[in-house]
Amino acid sequence: MDIQKLFNEDLPTRLAANPDAARRIGAKYQFNITGEGGGQWFLDLSRTGPTIEAGNPGKADCSITISAADFQQLQQNPNSGMQMYFSGRLRVAGDEMLAMRLQDILRGL
């Protein structure tokens, strides 16, 4: 999977196709994907969104930090998220309950 393509093309297309579903999530996320092919993206799924932009404006309700390799694995097996979290490979800052909703976001809303 191409992480850059996911965040720069695929997710914006999904958000544009389902703006009401995206807004129902009601949160702002910061993704920090480390390593080759990674990057930083800010995802606004609040009532002011939905939008996604590269970078880190510092106003997320929930921040997710994960390596590019682990993100790939998480995409292939969403059930591995809890194991990654408890082993320290997936770090969550802010509202941890919002991280549980990531499957909705990354699987197409």
CATH topology for 3-106 is: Nonspecific Lipid-transfer Protein; Chain A (3.30.1050)
pLDDT in tens, 37-92: 999 999 999 999 899 999 999 999 999 999 999 999 988 888 888 899 999 999 99
Mean pLDDT of 6-33: 92
Buried-exposed string 23-45: b where 16+ CB fall within 10 A, e elsewhere: bebebbbbbbbeeebbbbbbbbb
Domain ranges of the chain: 3-106
Pull the structure tokens for residue 81.
């998220």
Q: Which amino acid is at 108?
A: G
Which is nearest to 54 in space by CA: 11, 15, 25?
A: 11
pLDDT in tens, 12-21: 999 999 899 8
